[in-house]
């Protein structure tokens, strides 16, 4: 589904309809819009009350809604904070305190109603997660709980004047950034898709993921990561990227977009204009993109362009300093990048959303000023503002003093509502689709295609006789999963004394902790294997159960390893078995 196609039409609706309906005349050029308090409040309208003649047309329906919204309604629609509590209306005392500090309310539903929110992001904190610094709480546990939560959130949104679904987002990238793991079909990291190199498998796996995400009530997945790594594979993004080849990445990004959006979930390309060549972490500081403009165009742009062409509904801005285009200005706050390049050059007509506004580069300004700056740059939705009330009030003040034109705000809200009405047309799958056999098969095929032997045999068992599986204590779940998978594949496993298969994963700093190992397996970006002395080196790019099952088949000699590393691994070949 090319979700983004409907959005361009919404922005050419006649000005009379967009701004002048319901008695609101557009302010003459150069004048200050009327203060928010002087504008009439719109009464809540149920979705069924919208005229049926436009109900099938998301763009026209969005224009109708925008025309009757007050300034407060418009300001709320561009906000997408997080909330404390795993239920929309019932939270414990600790979560109530969190919501009071964030928004002056007790529950997520109250937050939606107070600020007339257009969206909410579901969050989860896991130690070691590279995005954990912006996720101070967890409100996702399992699919059944998430669906109950999203249903409650939608009920609260249904009482707002916009009469529009809530945009509910989640960072379900899989790999190192995954919010819901319990009970879902776990995809491997993006780098595994790059290793498999088969866009058809990518599309099928992401379609399965999209159906499960939609079943939980999430409407936007902040994935895929469209960042291209440097040729060496270095940088902070790591296995979240498909690899270092921009052309190959472009094909993977487009396939992931098609898969997700075929299930009615909007895909979000991130982190525009490209985080793959940076070494700094934008959670803590402003990373520099130091390539020449020509190099950036050749290396970083192709996956974003491919995702836009595939119809991605959302592009996420990065807090990144693209020095060749707008030196010293974070892309999130750069009109040159978010409007001239993204809209003008790439022809993106969907929803531009900021990366988290509670990250260090975005907190350079007070929340209200940062909100206005991000909107003026060309963003449509503000993700995770550190102070919801201040962000909303800053937008209203900008309308009043003229630093934010109402036309810019209505343009943003029209895009947001068009996307929401578009995704709402796809029926929500039942929870029984989650973890289905069909989804398991689709993802298993991808996992099997990704396994890569960088050194070792390409036919028959990788080791003979009994094996023992070792791993750091933090990898115990993966170790046990591989033991079971090897036993199911007919490989004898014993606690000690067998040929050692050593597992290494995300965040590990060394691989040669046991120089007696026969096989070292990297379950993340395989760069560390460049210094390993182990006779056999294998990469799965993932520690999921399905990935380890595919690995066991290769170790047992029941399957080949058709993967090829999508990044350079020292002097090792990309594959010992595949040209």
Which residues carry out catalysis?
Answer: 283, 355
Sign of the CA dihedral with 150 first, then 152, 155, and 159 last: negative
Residues, the chain: 579
The C-alpha atoms of residue 169 and residue 539 are separated, in whole angstroms, by: 31
Residue 495 CA: distances (Å) to CA of 46, 480, 483: 62, 11, 10
Q: Which three-class secondary structure state does DSSP give residue 396?
A: helix
The C-alpha atoms of residue 110 and residue 160 are separated, in whole angstroms, by: 12
Report whether 191 contacts 239 (CB < 8 A): yes
3-state secondary structure 297-308: HHHCHHHHHHHH
Q: Which residues are CB-neighbours of 181 under 8 A, at least 6 positions away? A: none
Q: Which three-class secondary structure state does DSSP give residue 457?
A: coil
Joined together, the tokens standing for residue 61 give 């329906």
The C-alpha atoms of residue 490 and residue 394 are separated, in whole angstroms, by: 64
Residue 74 CA: distances (Å) to CA of 117, 153, 160, 232, 373: 9, 19, 11, 45, 16
The C-alpha atoms of residue 120 and residue 217 are separated, in whole angstroms, by: 12
Identify which of 549, 543, 440 has the alpha carbon closest to the alpha carbon of residue 485. Answer: 549
| DSSP-derived pairing of the beta strands 119-122 and 167-170 | parallel
Report whether 395 contacts 75 (CB < 8 A): yes
Report whether 302 contacts 275 (CB < 8 A): no
The C-alpha atoms of residue 333 and residue 395 are separated, in whole angstroms, by: 15
Residue 508 CA: distances (Å) to CA of 129, 187, 523, 564: 13, 21, 10, 22
Identify which of 419, 402, 464, 492 has the alpha carbon closest to the alpha carbon of residue 32. Answer: 402
Burial of 462 (0-12, 13-18, 19+ CB in 10 A): buried
Residue 489 CA: distances (Å) to CA of 363, 460, 482, 558: 52, 13, 10, 8
Q: Which residues are CB-neighbours of 265 under 8 A, at least 6 positions away? A: 210, 213, 214, 218, 219, 220, 221, 423
The C-alpha atoms of residue 141 and residue 249 are separated, in whole angstroms, by: 32
The single-letter DSSP state of residue 530 is G
Give me the numbers of helices (H) and strands (E) for the chain, helices first please.
Answer: 21, 15
| Residue 566: alpha-carbon gap to chain centroid | 21
The C-alpha atoms of residue 376 and residue 154 are separated, in whole angstroms, by: 29
């Amino acid at each position: 589904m090319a979700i983004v196609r409907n959005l361009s039409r919404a922005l050419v609706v006649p000005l009379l309809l967009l701004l002048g309906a319901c008695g609101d005349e557009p302010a003459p050029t150069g004048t200050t819009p009327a203060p928010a308090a002087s504008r009439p409040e719109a009464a809540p309208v149920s979705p069924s009350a919208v005229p049926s003649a436009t109900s099938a047309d998301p763009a026209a329906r969005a224009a109708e809604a925008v025309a009757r919204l007050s300034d407060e309604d418009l300001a709320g629609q561009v906000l997408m904070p997080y909330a404390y509590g795993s239920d929309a209306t019932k939270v414990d005392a600790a979560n109530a305190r969190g919501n009071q500090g964030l928004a002056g309310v007790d529950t997520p539903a109250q937050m939606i109603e107070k600020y007339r929110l257009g969206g909410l992001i579901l969050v989860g904190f896991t130690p070691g997660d590279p995005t954990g610094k912006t996720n101070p709480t967890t409100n996702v546990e399992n699919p059944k709980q998430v669906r109950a939560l999203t249903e409650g959130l939608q009920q609260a949104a249904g009482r707002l004047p916009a009469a529009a679904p809530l945009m509910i987002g989640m960072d379900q990238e899989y790999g190192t950034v995954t919010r819901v793991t319990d009970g879902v079909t776990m995809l491997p990291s993006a780098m595994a898709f790059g290793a498999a190199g088969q866009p058809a498998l990518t599309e099928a796996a992401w379609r399965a993921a999209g159906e499960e995400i939609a079943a939980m009530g999430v409407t936007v997945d902040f994935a895929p990561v469209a960042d291209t790594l440097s040729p060496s594979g270095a940088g902070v993004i790591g296995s979240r990227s498909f690899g270092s080849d921009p052309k190959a990445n472009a094909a993977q990004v487009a396939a992931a977009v098609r898969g997700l959006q075929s299930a009615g979930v909007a895909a979000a390309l991130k982190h525009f204009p490209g985080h793959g060549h940076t070494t700094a972490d934008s959670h803590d500081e402003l990373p520099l993109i130091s390539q020449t403009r020509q190099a950036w165009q050749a290396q970083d742009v192709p996956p974003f362009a491919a995702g836009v062409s595939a119809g991605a509904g959302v592009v996420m801005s990065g807090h990144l300093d693209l020095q060749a285009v707008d030196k010293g200005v974070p892309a999130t706050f750069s009109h040159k990048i978010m409007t001239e390049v993204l809209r003008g050059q790439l022809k993106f007509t969907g929803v531009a959303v900021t990366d988290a506004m509670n990250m260090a580069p975005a907190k350079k300004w007070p929340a209200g000023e940062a909100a206005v700056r991000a909107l003026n740059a060309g963003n449509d939705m503000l993700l995770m503002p550190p102070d919801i009330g201040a962000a909303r009030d800053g937008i209203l003040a900008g309308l009043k003093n003229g630093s934010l034109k109402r036309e810019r705000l209505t343009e943003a809200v029209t895009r947001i509502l068009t996307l929401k009405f578009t995704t709402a047309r796809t029926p929500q799958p039942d929870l029984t689709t989650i973890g289905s056999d069909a989804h398991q098969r689709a993802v298993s095929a991808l996992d099997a295609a990704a396994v890569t032997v960088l050194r070792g045999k390409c036919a028959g068992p990788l080791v003979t006789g009994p094996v023992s599986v070792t791993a750091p204590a933090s990898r115990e779940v993966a170790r046990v999963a591989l033991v079971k998978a090897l036993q199911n594949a007919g490989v004898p496993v014993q606690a000690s004394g067998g040929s050692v298969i050593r597992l290494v994963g995300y965040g590990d700093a060394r691989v040669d902790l046991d120089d007696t190992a026969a096989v070292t397996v990297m379950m993340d970006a395989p760069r560390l294997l460049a210094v390993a002395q182990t006779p056999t080196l294998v990469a799965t790019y993932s520690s999921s159960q399905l990935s380890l099952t595919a690995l066991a088949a290769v170790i047992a000699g029941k399957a080949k390893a058709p993967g090829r590393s999508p990044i350079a691994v020292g002097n090792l070949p990309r594959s010992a078995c595949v040209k």
